[in-house]
Amino acid sequence: MLSIQEFRFLPFEKKCDLVTYNGHYLTYRKMGDCKVFLYHSDNFFIEVYYSTKYQKVLMINAFEEQRGLEPYLDKISLADLYSKPLM
């Protein structure tokens, strides 16, 4: 299991590999000309900033704090939780 500190010090290409093979895709959001893809890996979240204009990954950001999820709240629906029994 990789810590967030270890992930942050990886070379860019290794970060891309980790997201591709070990990341669990959650959702995405739009930010200007970019799509920001959200993944979960081990104990932290990873954002991949992808330029649709240049068709390449511009940046990869890792975070642990819940406030980092705020830009994605409009993508989350709790409706399914109400329709399923708890036990």
Report pLDDT for 17.
95
Report pLDDT for 63.
96
Check which CATH number belongs to the domain holding 75 and give it.
3.30.67
> How many domains are there within the chain?
1
- Quote the distance between the C-alpha of residue 15 and its chain's center: 12
d(CA 59, CA 48): 6
d(CA 16, CA 23): 10
Report pLDDT for 75.
79
Burial of 78: CB neighbours in 10 Å, binned 0-12, 13-18, 19+: exposed
- Collapse the DSSP code of 52 into the 3-class scheme (helix H, G, I; strand E, B; otherwise coil) and give the result: coil
pLDDT in tens, the chain (87 residues): 789 999 999 999 999 999 999 999 999 999 999 999 999 998 899 999 999 999 999 999 999 998 999 998 887 766 655 655 555
d(CA 72, CA 29): 7
Report pLDDT for 80.
59
